[in-house]
Amino acid sequence: MKLWGGNFHAQTDMAANSFHSSLAFDQRLYRHDIRGSIAHATMLGRQGIIPAADAEAITRGLTGILADIESDALTVAGDAEDIHSFVEAELISRIGEAGRRLHTGRSRNDQVALDMRMYVKEEIAAVKTLLTALLSALLTTAKQHTASIMPGYTHLQKAQPVTLAHHLLAYVQMFERDHGRLTDCQRRCDVMPLGSGALATTTYPLDREWVSEELGFAAISENSLDAVSDRDFCIEYISCLSLIMLHLSRFCEELILWSADGFAFVTIDDAYATGSSIMPQKKNPDMAELIRGKTGRVYGHLAALLVMMKGLPLSYNKDMQEDKEAVFGATDTAKSCLDIFTRMFGSLTFHTDTMAVSADGGFMNATDLADWLVGKGVAFRDAHEIVGRLVVLAIEKGVSLAELPLAELKKAADVFDETVYQAISAESCVNRRALTGGPAASAVLSALAAAEHRLLDRG
């Protein structure tokens, strides 16, 4: 059924009809479309715009359609242009003339804007739930490793020792910001556009506030042109998903490195790895690699929406039909990646002994040695130079800084004494960094407690 065919005399070309149709992908909006239509029809009856009996018949019909779709008694298919046309045609076939009154005071432009906002609001809540599960898993593991010393890196070179808990808490911070961004996005998405019509509202006395409250929106749109042509909320939502994927991808990159022989910090469970068809010894971190790869897919959806919207005059243009596949695709990808990553993370075996051995190499206590000299009254720039020379000496001798004899140290600076060796142990290097945000056990325990409190507050 065409909703617009009154002044058309020729049939739409079959290829054009197929090209134009969005039913294949927007059918996932059926629940949102039907919920919005029930609220709209009920309001029309309350306002006396259509007979109360017709409003009741429409509501019963739509409720039946929803039940039949969800029980698979009704398949969304056929030559309808979109889910809106499908539902309305099915309604008319079931209840007759009363069904033709449903679209009173409404355009597909504000109808689809409503459906998309309802969908994005719902999916934001689902993604936040997945983020909360991941945060819980990270915090559970971090609590077990507040004393597990490992190398910290800059430029992928060993830099200073930290703990595994401290490292995991860095990702807690990232995913908490992601959660907060989604909450902010949800607020801007929580605006009800129905009643905007095609672009200039309607002459019917609609009760927009009642519909908004019925559908659980916080506010109604204030400009009809903007309401039907705005897809900022979709772009912002996919931007939030893109940052989540960025953080997942960075974490996956580290797990890929850490599971390699050169690091051997972690073993990924067989359930989340695959083998080689030719090399029997191989165990490949494919799930982590796929998440890293799928990040580009979400970025692509974001770029597609930005480019699609950038040149559109007000108000609605058919280009905007392309928003759905981008939003749906980004949502599906991000949700599946969050789910698999959380499962995979829970399966990891961390090799803390290997991490600790690695933390003893690479002269990662050089900064602490310079700080020790500063504590003895040496200017930091001089201390930096002294330690640099000692590093060269240690490399020449094939030893660590802690293995240099005190006599050699005194040749570099006469302030050296036996206490230096304890000061530059890995444990001391970590636990002396007790500032807020640091890797010391005291700072990490405080950060863990704060993060757990925030997690409880999110419910």
Residue 5, pLDDT above cutoff 70: no
What phi and psi values does residue 441 have, to the nearest 5 degrees? -55, -40
Q: Comparing 46 with 79, which gets the higher pLDDT?
A: 46
Domain CATH for 279: 1.20.200.10
At residue 241 the predicted structure's pLDDT band, cuts being 50, 70 and 90, is very high
96 and 60 fall within a common domain: yes
- CB neighbours of 361 closer than 8 A, spacing ≥ 6? 158, 400
Query: Which of these three, 310, 341, 356, is where a domain ends?
Result: 356
- Whether residue 373 is contained in a domain is answered as yes
- Which residues sit opposite 410 in a β-bridge? none
138 and 78 fall within a common domain: no
Instruction: Dump strand ranges (E) for 72-224.
Output: 149-154, 157-163, 191-192, 219-220
312 and 210 fall within a common domain: yes
23 and 117 fall within a common domain: no
Residue 201 is classified by DSSP as -
Residues 197-209, mean pLDDT to the nearest whole number: 98
3 state DSSP class of 383: helix
pLDDT tens figures, 409-424? 999 999 999 999 999 9
Q: Comparing 256 with 1, which gets the higher pLDDT?
A: 256
Query: Which of these three, 321, 356, 391, is where a domain ends?
Result: 356
- CA dist., res. 256 & res. 75, Å (int): 43
- Whether residue 10 is contained in a domain is answered as no
Residues 314-329, mean pLDDT to the nearest whole number: 96
Mean of the per-residue pLDDT values of the chain: 95
Residue 11, pLDDT above cutoff 70: no
| Domain count within the chain | 3
> For residue 21, is the peptide bond before it cis, meaning its omega torsion is within 30 degrees of 0?
no
65 and 124 fall within a common domain: no
Residues 71-81, mean pLDDT to the nearest whole number: 94
Q: Residue 10: its pLDDT value, please?
A: 60
- Whether residue 329 is contained in a domain is answered as yes
204 and 297 fall within a common domain: yes
192 and 277 fall within a common domain: yes
At residue 15 the predicted structure's pLDDT band, cuts being 50, 70 and 90, is confident
- Whether residue 156 is contained in a domain is answered as no
Residue 57: which domain range? 15-104
3 state DSSP class of 267: strand
Q: Residue 361: its pLDDT value, please?
A: 81
171 and 213 fall within a common domain: yes
Q: Comparing 14 with 133, which gets the higher pLDDT?
A: 133
> Which contiguous run of DSSP H or E holds residue 349?
strand 349-350
Assigned token pair, 435: 């500032």
Query: Which of these three, 356, 390, 417, is where a domain ends?
Result: 356
- Whether residue 318 is contained in a domain is answered as yes
At residue 436 the predicted structure's pLDDT band, cuts being 50, 70 and 90, is very high
Residue 8, pLDDT above cutoff 80: no
- Active-site residue set: 155, 276
99 and 114 fall within a common domain: no
Q: Residue 456: its pLDDT value, please?
A: 93
Residues 327-350, mean pLDDT to the nearest whole number: 98
Domain CATH for 386: 1.10.40.30
378 and 240 fall within a common domain: no
- Whether residue 6 is contained in a domain is answered as no
- Whether residue 424 is contained in a domain is answered as yes
Q: Residue 4: its pLDDT value, please?
A: 45
327 and 389 fall within a common domain: no
Residue 230, pLDDT above cutoff 60: yes
98 and 114 fall within a common domain: no
- Whether residue 149 is contained in a domain is answered as no
Q: Residue 9: its pLDDT value, please?
A: 59
Alpha helices in 96-146 (DSSP H): 108-143
Domain CATH for 78: 1.10.275.10
- CA dist., res. 148 & res. 357, Å (int): 11
Q: Residue 256: its pLDDT value, please?
A: 97
- CB neighbours of 46 closer than 8 A, spacing ≥ 6? 55, 207, 210
Find the angle CA(412)-CA(414)-CA(417) to the nearest 5 degrees: 105
Residue 20, pLDDT above cutoff 50: yes
- Asked if residue 326 lies in contact with residue 305, where contact means CB atoms within 8 angstroms, the answer is yes
Assigned token pair, 401: 């800084």
Centre a 10 Å sphere on the Cβ of residue 178 and count the other Cβ atoms it contains: 24
Residues 285-296, mean pLDDT to the nearest whole number: 97
Assigned token pair, 169: 């808490």
pLDDT tens figures, 94-148? 999 999 999 999 999 999 999 999 999 999 999 999 999 999 999 999 999 999 9
Q: Using a pLDDT cut of 90, give the percent of the chain over it.
A: 91
